[in-house]
Amino acid sequence: MERIEDQFANLCIVQRSLEPKEPTYLLGIDTSKTIQADKGNLVAVLCSNGSIRIYDKETLKVLREFSGSPGLLNGVRFANSCDSVYSASTDGTVKCWDARLASEKPVQLFKGYPSNVFISFDVNCKDHIICAGTEKVDDDALLVFWDARTTSQDLSTKDPLGAYSETHSDDITQVRFHPSNPNMVVSGSTDGLVNVFDISIDNEEDALVATCNSISSVSCIGWSGRDYKQIYCMTHDEGFCWWDLNHLDTDEPITRLYIQDVREITDGKEGHLDYLVGGLYHEKMDRLFVIGGTNTGKIHLLSCTSSGLTHVARLQGGHAATVRSFCWNMSEDSLLTGGEDAQLLLWKPGAIEKTFTKKDNLKIASSVQQRVRVHSNDSYKRRKQQ
């Protein structure tokens, strides 16, 4: 098996999206899970103007665009069993579109409780349950749940099954279901806490399996390890945490790795790192990788072990500004990246690199900055990890 270090280092740009009429930051990427011989795979991209664009994966041509109006959309996720695409909205709903239909109207609408502003969400591996996290309103930050299953008698609008309200004290910025266990979900918040739940258990207190403290505002979370029994977390001030849930009932420490600021340990011969983008667990290799970048568009791959982060490979020559999103395809070892230069790039290993003109950093209207929330972490620094 080729090492991922070599796979990543050999990636070349094979396709670049055309410059859109309205340049936007590309904040999130997901690809369709279904494979249809007569139809190309789809890519859904969350844009900073509050819309989702659907692209053809091979040509990167825009096929259609869905608006979150009257709210702004947060997050993008394809269903696991069909071409439905979901996003959470600040108007208090989670919206679902059929990505192969031109209609802008959602095929389903999942309504929250009054005053809910959704900023994160996920769909479980069986497409049965949706969970969305809210901004803190008054004293409440909620995880809201819906039954996502449809029948011929279903109306297009659904009300919640219920909510968790006692385990986070600030905005819930991240929600991620377990890749194979439909009842396990992890949430992260600006309160610094990362909570793991088993939603098959009736009440919130008993459903809470573990609470981990990142000591800062959570920007990204994910599952890793054999049987996905580990959790990693990134923070808005570029910290990194990695926990092992296998050690919950043992005397072994749950924390595998804690780095307060990754930027301080990566300024070596391979160049500095300005920010973290996300994590990548390679199931076949049983290895966790971290992807970060520079403000000039370089992309860095770091290998994660309990001893620390090690630089593996670097991609350059693609983006001209901060990279905000990526999606790695395990089966074909291809990479999609999106950035603040409004470009969506498709990278493949060993391909003949096409000639592209690197785009200049786009000066985007100040309204975009409203989507890039800066969280003060002073209050979290005062927290002491138990």
Supply the DSSP string of 155-221, one letter for each residue: -SEE--SEEE-SS-SS-EEEEEE-SS-TTEEEEEETTSEEEEEETTSSSHHHHEEEEEE-SS-EEEE
CA angle 323, 325, 329 (to 5 degrees): 120
Task: Give the pLDDT score at 369.
Answer: 37
Structure tokens at 186: 């992890």
Residue with the bigger pLDDT between 271 and 272: it is 272
Q: What is the pLDDT of residues 41-78, one digit of tens each?
A: 899 999 999 999 999 999 999 999 999 888 999 999 99
**CA–CA gap between residue 24 and residue 214 (Å, rounded):** 31
Exposure of 182 by Cβ count < 10 A (0-12 exposed, 13-18 middle, 19+ buried)? Answer: middle
Q: Give the model's pLDDT for residue 268.
A: 60
Q: What does the pLDDT average to over 173-182?
A: 98
* DSSP letter assigned to residue 374: -
The residue-averaged pLDDT of 298-312 equals 94
> What are the backbone angles phi and psi of residue 316, rounded to the nearest 5°?
-150, 170
Which among 2-16, 152-166, 254-268, 348-362 has the top mean pLDDT? 254-268
Which of these ranges, 59-68, 171-180, 183-192, 360-369, has the smallest mean pLDDT?
360-369
**Mean pLDDT score, 10-21:** 89
Residue 374 CB burial class (10 angstroms; 0-12, 13-18, ≥19) = exposed
Q: What is the mean pLDDT of the chain?
A: 88
Q: Report the run of H or E that residue 371 belongs to, with start and end.
A: none
The pLDDT of 328-356, averaged and rounded, is 85
Give me the residues paired with residue 131 across strands: 122, 145
> For 350-365, what is the mean pLDDT?
52
